[in-house]
Each structure stands twice: as C-alpha cells, then as structure tokens.
Amino acid sequence: MSSKFKIALIQLLVSSSKAKNISHACELISKAASTGAKLVVLPECFNSPYGVKYFPEYAETIPGETTNALKNCAKQNQIFLVGGSIPERDESGKLFNTSTIYNPHGELIGIFRKMHLFDIDIPGKITFKESDALAPGNQLTTFDISDDFRVGLAICYDVRFPLLASLYSKRGCHLLLYPGAFNMTTGPAHWELLLRSRALDNQMYVAGVSPAHDENADYKAWGHTTLVDTWGTIIGKCEMNEEIVYGEIDLEHLKTVRKQLPYLSQQRHDVYTLEEKKLEK
Ligand SMILES: *[C@@H]1O[C@H](CO)[C@@H](O)[C@H](O)[C@H]1NC(C)=O
Ligand SMILES: *[C@@H]1O[C@H](CO)[C@@H](O)[C@H](O)[C@H]1NC(C)=O
Ligand SMILES: CC(=O)N[C@H]1CO[C@H](CO)[C@@H](O)[C@@H]1O
C-alpha cells in the first residue's frame, strides 16, 4: 500500500443559511475529491454562524439534516470525511460541539465532542461562555484510514492542551486534525505556533481547519487553514478567503523524522507518565 495520502482541508465560507451552506460544503468536497484527495476535512461550525446564541437554533441530532448530507457526500465521492463541527443536541437536550467522521462507504465511524470549552469574561471587552450553552465531550476519537495510518481529532481550543495531543500520540496517531475558528487576535498570535508545536511535540502531521473570514459575521475568523508536517514545516496554507488547502501525508517521511530525532521513544516514563482515564460519555 502506498505511504502517501492526499488530503484536502476546506476553508469554507459560512453564512446563516444552513441548507445553502450544507450544499455548498458538498460541492467543495466533491471538487476536492475529484483531484484525488482521500481524506477531506471541513472547518469548525461549518453549518451555523459561530456564537453561543446561535447554537440552540442551529443544533440538530445525529443523524440529522447535516449528517445525512455528509454521509451521502462521503459515499458519492468515496472518501473519508471529517465533518468539522456542528452544534449537536442529544436525546436529553444537551448541546455539544461535535465533529462526525465518515468512511468511503458513507458510514458514520466516529464522533468527537469538543473536550475543552472556552469561557472568557473580561468586563467591558469580551464575554464568551461556551459552557453556558454547551457540554464537554469526555473521550478521545481516532479512526484508521489504513492499517498503518491513524488519525486523531480534536476541536479548536483543544489545540491549547498539549497533554491531549500527547495522548493521541500515545494512541499511535500519525495525523491530528483540529477544526477550529481562532479570532483576529488569537489567530495571528497563536494559531500557527500552536499547530506547529503540537506537530513537533508529537512528531505527527497536524492540520488546523478554519472557516473563511467573513467581514459581515459577528465572529470574524482568522482563517489560515494550515497543514504542518512531522518536522514542523508548513506544507499547506491559505489566507482568509474561501479556499481548499491540499497536502500530502507521507508516512515514510514521518518514520524517517522519528528515526532522525527519536525523542518520542526516549521519554522518561520512569520519571513521569501520562495516563488516559476512561470516563462515561
Ligand atoms: C464550538 O465551539 C466554539 C468555541 O470554541 C464555538 O464558538 C463554536 O461555535 C462551537 N461550534 C459548534 C458547532 O458548536
Ligand atoms: C479574540 O479572543 C481573545 C481571547 O478571548 C480576546 O482577548 C480578543 O479580544 C478577541 N479578539 C477579537 C478581535 O475579538
Ligand atoms: C459556505 C456557504 O454556503 N456559504 C454560503 C452559505 O450560504 C451563503 C448564502 O446564504 C452563501 O453566501 C455562502 O457563500
């Protein structure tokens, strides 16, 4: 089996029309697949405007309108598809920030619910309390594209937590995906640095997939969807407009880098350890 996989990261322009945005997402997914991409990733919050006040209106159950569309889209194009994130409502009415994963048969093979919720309150400046509206997920999510290619998934603010990325490394991931929407302050300051840091910490490929910048939206995303390789080099990137970023995951390159700098296998687990705890979902 080839050690190279083409992936596509879609920096989608999101508006407040859910149905239009879903069909637009599917158009771009088909476009990406037609160039040979085997894995396609959508941004955080791609079917709804970004903001706590929109979640109750846009939230849906799984399966629902959005996930049914994604399922068909994965199947038609015979690709692995990571559905960025959507506001999800579960049976009990709780809301989550949830990413869904499909295989090339259109089967839902995993979901990830954002683990770290972003709460901030600076009087007179900014208040953003995700925990008022959302509940956190408690589980890591990985999926296998082949016997030797494992992908892990987390969302946006989760990228600031290096131990989570290290747990994914411990689970054997080669690529870590972060659908995310940093803003115009945190984006320029931290987005690229965090993605490159997580890649270097763990000698993994790391991708951050943002919605496109929309000057008229309440929340103005930084965009700058980025793919980083195992060496920390940026191998794919765009600016703020809608665009598809393509890149190649080369598992031989990953192995070579891990041999050149074998720090993952030289950790002192006799001195420190990292442990994953299994919680109820
Ligand atoms: C997910 O979390 C972000 C905050 O990090 C929130 O603003 C965003 O709108 C949420 N997205 C969804 C789809 O719930
Ligand atoms: C972006 O978010 C940061 C962190 O919450 C906040 O301090 C900053 O004011 C925000 N910037 C904009 C442009 O909204
Ligand atoms: C992503 C997307 O579809 N964007 C579209 C969402 O729908 C609006 C129209 O409602 C389009 O303008 C956006 O291009």
The answer to whether the bond into 211 is cis (omega within 30° of 0) is: no
Short-list 31, 115, 22, CA closest to 71:
22
* Ligand in nearest proximity to the CA of 183: 2
Tokens of 171: 């689970």
Residue 76 reports pLDDT greater than 80 = yes
Euclidean distance between CA atoms 90 and 10, whole angstroms: 27
CA distance 180 to 76: 26
At 164-212, the pLDDT tens digits run 999 999 999 999 999 999 999 999 999 999 999 999 999 999 999 999 9
Residue 210: predicted pLDDT: 97
Q: Name the closest-CA residue to atom 10, ligand 2.
A: 185
The pLDDT mean for the chain works out to 92
In this prediction, residue 15 carries a pLDDT of: 73
Residue 232 has pLDDT above 90, yes or no: yes
Cα 162 to chain centroid, rounded: 15
Cβ–Cβ < 8 Å for 43, 11: yes
* CA distance linking residue 73 with residue 267, whole number of Å: 42
| 95 beta partners | 89
CA of 14 to the centre of ligand 3 (A): 6
- What average pLDDT does the segment 208-235 reach? 96
DSSP code for 274: -
Q: Are 62 and 95 in contact (CB under 8 A)?
A: no
Distance 126 CA to ligand 2 centre (A): 7
Residues present in the chain in total: 281
Q: What is the mean pLDDT of residues 56-84?
A: 94
Query: Is the model's pLDDT at 1 over the cut of 70?
Result: no
Contact call for residues 174 and 151 (beta carbons, < 8 A): yes
pLDDT of 50 > 80? The answer is no
Q: What is the DSSP string of 228-248?
A: E-TTS-EEEE--SSSEEEEEE
**Bridge partners, 152 (sequence order):** 142, 176
- Quick one: pLDDT at residue 187? 98
Candidates 2.60.40.10, 3.60.110.10, 3.30.930.10, 3.40.50.300; CATH matching 4-260? 3.60.110.10
**Worst-scoring range by mean pLDDT, 72-81, 83-92, 131-140?**
131-140
Catalytic residue among 26, 44, 88, 173: 44
pLDDT for res 92: 87
pLDDT at position 150 over 60: yes
- List, for residues 100-142, the tens digit of each pLDDT value: 999 999 999 999 998 888 888 888 887 877 777 777 888 999 9
Q: Which residue out of 16, 24, 86 has the highest number of ligand 3 atoms within 8 Å of its CB and is therefore the one to mutate? A: 24
Which of residues 50 and 185 earns the better pLDDT score?
A: 185
For the cut 70, the answer to whether the pLDDT of residue 281 exceeds it is: no
Once rounded to an integer, what is the mean pLDDT over residues 45-61?
82
Q: What is the pLDDT of residue 3?
A: 86
Mutate to test the pocket of ligand 3, among 10, 20, 50, 66 (most ligand atoms within 8 A of CB): 20
| Choice between 51 and 263, residue whose per-residue pLDDT is larger | 263
Q: What is the pLDDT of residue 21?
A: 79
